[in-house]
Amino acid sequence: FIINGSNLIDGFNGLLSIHSLIILSILLFFNLLNDNSDIQYIILYTGIIILIFTYFNFPNAKMFLGDSGAYLIGTFIAVSVVNSSLLNPNISPFLFCILLFYLFFEVFFSFFRKLLIVRQSPLLPDNQHLHMRVYKFLLRKRYTKLKANYLTSVYVNSTYLLLVLPAIIFSESNLFCKYYFLFLLIIYIYLYKKIK
């Protein structure tokens, strides 16, 4: 789900790279807090590489990840989240689900939306993902294609960051994180329906 989700959201300037920087920053914070030195350096160095890439990809793209880059980042995020969860037993496992909810639910929701609502093969691509709806909404507000492209990344990632902050504060509460994860899925569906 995470690898495919990374490839799915790649395509707008900075969307995947900024999203992955947010996730890696949070993972780095928890691993620094609990003194997990092996993984914190790997996350830090990978984050620096992604930050350098973002400089060339956002707001005006001079460089692109492509499928291989998106798959590589998705794999690294998935492995880092699993390892961080194992190395930090005091943190709710649902916090790590919350960190991955956008990448995961973009694929999950898209699959069942196509299968049950649109009645088409869930393996076929379409342009009805949440980030694409945000992009089309911005185009209707008379932004240029380039500005709508990078503003999509700003809006999606800002909203994501605001939504995950409460979980970081209550990271040790398994009950809070469990219900908050479900709440985020409902928020996603609400935003998806609201942005037409």
pLDDT of residue 81: 97
pLDDT of residue 125: 84
Is 172 strand, coil or helix? coil
Q: CA 187, CA 177: separation in Å to the nearest integer?
A: 15
Q: What are phi and psi of 2, to 5 degrees?
A: -70, -40
pLDDT of residue 147: 93
pLDDT of residue 42: 95
Is 10 strand, coil or helix? strand
pLDDT of residue 168: 96
The pTM of the whole model exceeds 0.75: yes
- The segments of the chain whose pLDDT lies below 50 read none
Q: CA 92, CA 115: separation in Å to the nearest integer?
A: 33
Q: CA 106, CA 5: separation in Å to the nearest integer?
A: 6
The owner of tokens 């960190």 is 99
pLDDT of residue 17: 96
pLDDT of residue 37: 86
pLDDT of residue 95: 97
Instruction: Characterize 162-186 residue by residue with b for buried, 16 or more Cβ atoms within 10 angstroms of its Cβ, and e for exposed.
Output: ebbeebbeebebeebbbebbeebee
